[in-house]
Amino acid sequence: MPYLAPANPEIQRPVSTTLIVLSVLLALFLNGLPWEGVWLMLRPDFVAVVMLYWCTHRPLRVGIGLSWAVGILADVADASLFGQHALAYTLLAFGGVALHHRLKMFDLRQQTTQVFGILALTYAVYALVHWQVNGYMVWPYFLGCLTSTLLWAPLSIMFQAARRMRVDRE
Amino acid sequence: MTDNTQSFQFFNRGPSPAVRLVFFVVLSLLLLFIDARYRYLESTRSTLSVLVSPIQRLATLPGVLWQQAGDFFTTQRNLVENNKSLHQQHEHDAAQLLQLQALQQENQKLRNLLTLPQRGELTTQSAEIVYAEHDVFKRKVLIDKGANANVQIGQVVMDDTGIVGQITRVYPWLSEVTLITEKDHAVPVQVLRNGLRTIVFGAGDTSQLSLRYMPISSDIQNDDLLVTSGIDGIYPPGIPVAKVVKIERDAAYPFARVTCLPVAGVDKHRHLLILSGLPKLPERPTQEPAATQNLKAKQKK
């Protein structure tokens, strides 16, 4: 691979497959915790944020196909229609892959605004499918989009710390 | 492609993201269409649920631990008080149960005299809520009895006070209960006071129910108890469903707006009862009017 001089050297650190798989499983677990009422509305979509992180930082390893598969698992977990999460996560992954060069140039604050756009699209697609099939909308659902965006910065810092630890050990 | 070395794989990126996007979007839309229209994918879903359910089970663990810790630290005084009130309740219920048995006998005899079909006996199966659905849009819970315990789609779920919902999907070890507060979930009911028949619908975003298409002049009052009418063949007759809490009669509209609250602790309990052995309805006439078919389809949703 022709290595361009990376703007942010952190990004080119190696990532183990275990970390990716574990983070996705952990995200599914966090989504599955017994959230109720207001907390359910405010719950960030952990799976979406984690998938977006890997799509922007490892676009060659985690791409649209894998996001789609994770979406199908999320559909089974949430008992939503088959393909509802999958469709949303496909678009999410495409957004991530398409914007990954740009995100590398940005700092966390600028990244967050970009990420908000992608997540808003994901949430809108999910809600749109629901609206088409069932004919009504629950507006507080979009609060989750804001909390998911707020999750981006802490998650990025955490993952980078995890990768740095691994590099230090080696 | 024969020279499939590590470095070669690096460049072998396959189709471009746009092509993949179109492929997976079309695939998702196809799945959505098939699932929403025909529901062909239930077996695939239950197969995949085997993969996901360990994570879900694990996720319910913190809640269960919290509850167990709460149980552990219950004081003795609480237990004694609880026991006392349960005993009182039991004595009260026992008196009523004796009466009920006498009434049942009497009812049976009267029905024999009038040559009416007997009321079916209901058998129940207890189940525990594993977790509530993690979706803002839906009001569903999953319970720990599935195909392994002969649970079937369409069975009615209740708690000790009234109807909670209906089983809408069965997995190998779990089944999904749609609560009566789910948007547009319909239960055919009767006002206990005067036998007025109507249908109660879930409101979706709140834990309320509403009666639609009640003419302004209809005889309905606050605190009226709505019980299942049993004429649908799904819900057994006479089980409490909801209580009327608010009636708005506006002369500008042909229908009154009636708000009800469910009698059962729809959002509260952990233990539920699944009813089986529902009364069999006589066979339908072969030609059904289109209108009733539509209503049936709506209920099944």
Could you report the per-residue pLDDT of B158-180, keeping only the tens digit for each? 888 888 889 988 887 788 888 88
pLDDT of residue B13: 62
Question: Has residue B290 been placed in a domain?
Answer: no
Question: Has residue B86 been placed in a domain?
Answer: no
Question: Has residue B102 been placed in a domain?
Answer: no
Of residues B175 and B53, more confidence is placed in B175
Question: Has residue B36 been placed in a domain?
Answer: no
Give the residue-averaged pLDDT of B18-26.
Answer: 91
Question: Has residue B269 been placed in a domain?
Answer: yes
Q: Which of A49-53, B191-195, B275-279 has the lowest mean pLDDT?
A: B275-279
Contact B20 A71 (CB under 8 A): no
ipTM above 0.85, yes or no: no
- Judged against a pLDDT cut of 70, whether residue B300 lies above it is answered with no
Q: How far is B183 from chain A (nearest CA, A)?
A: 9
pLDDT tens sequence across A98-157: 888 888 888 888 899 999 999 999 999 999 998 888 777 878 888 889 999 999 999 999
Of the candidates B24, B34, B58, the beta carbon closest to that of A65 is on B24
Of the candidates A77, A83, A140, the beta carbon closest to that of B52 is on A77
pLDDT of residue B281: 62
Rounded to the nearest integer, the mean pLDDT of chain B is 81
State the count of interchain CB pairs (< 8 A) between A and B. 128
Cα–Cα distance, A101 to A20 (Å, whole number): 20
Best residue of B11, B16, B134, B177 to probe chain A, by most A CBs closer than 10 Å: B134
pTM of the model: 0.72
What's the total number of domains in chain B? 1
- Judged against a pLDDT cut of 80, whether residue B113 lies above it is answered with yes
Packing angle of the helix pair A64-78, A46-57 (nearest 10 deg): 170
Q: Which of A44-48, B110-114, B217-221, B290-294 has the lowest mean pLDDT?
A: B290-294
Give the containing element (helix H, strand E) for B262.
Answer: strand B255-262
Of residues B269 and B12, more confidence is placed in B269
pLDDT tens sequence across B202-224: 887 667 888 888 888 888 888 89
- Under the banding of pLDDT at 50, 70 and 90, the label for residue B44 is confident
Rounded to the nearest integer, the mean pLDDT of chain A is 84
Give φ, ψ of B156 to 5 degrees. Answer: -95, 140
Question: Has residue B93 been placed in a domain?
Answer: no
- Judged against a pLDDT cut of 80, whether residue B98 lies above it is answered with yes
- Where does residue A64 rank: exposed (0-12), middle (13-18), buried (19+ CB within 10 A)? buried
Question: Has residue B257 been placed in a domain?
Answer: yes
- Judged against a pLDDT cut of 60, whether residue B10 lies above it is answered with no
Question: Has residue B19 been placed in a domain?
Answer: no
Place of tokens 């209920």: B299
The residue segments making up the domain with residue B169 are 123-276
- List Cβ neighbours of B258 (8 Å cut-off, separation of 6 or more): B210, B211, B214, B220, B244, B246, B247, B248
- List Cβ neighbours of B191 (8 Å cut-off, separation of 6 or more): B198, B219, B220, B224, B225, B226
pLDDT tens sequence across B224-256: 999 998 887 788 888 899 999 989 888 888 888
Neighbouring-strand partners of residue B200: B187, B211
Of the candidates A63, A76, A78, the beta carbon closest to that of B133 is on A78
- Residue B157 tokens read as 């779920």
- The domain that holds B212 is classified in CATH as 2.40.10.340
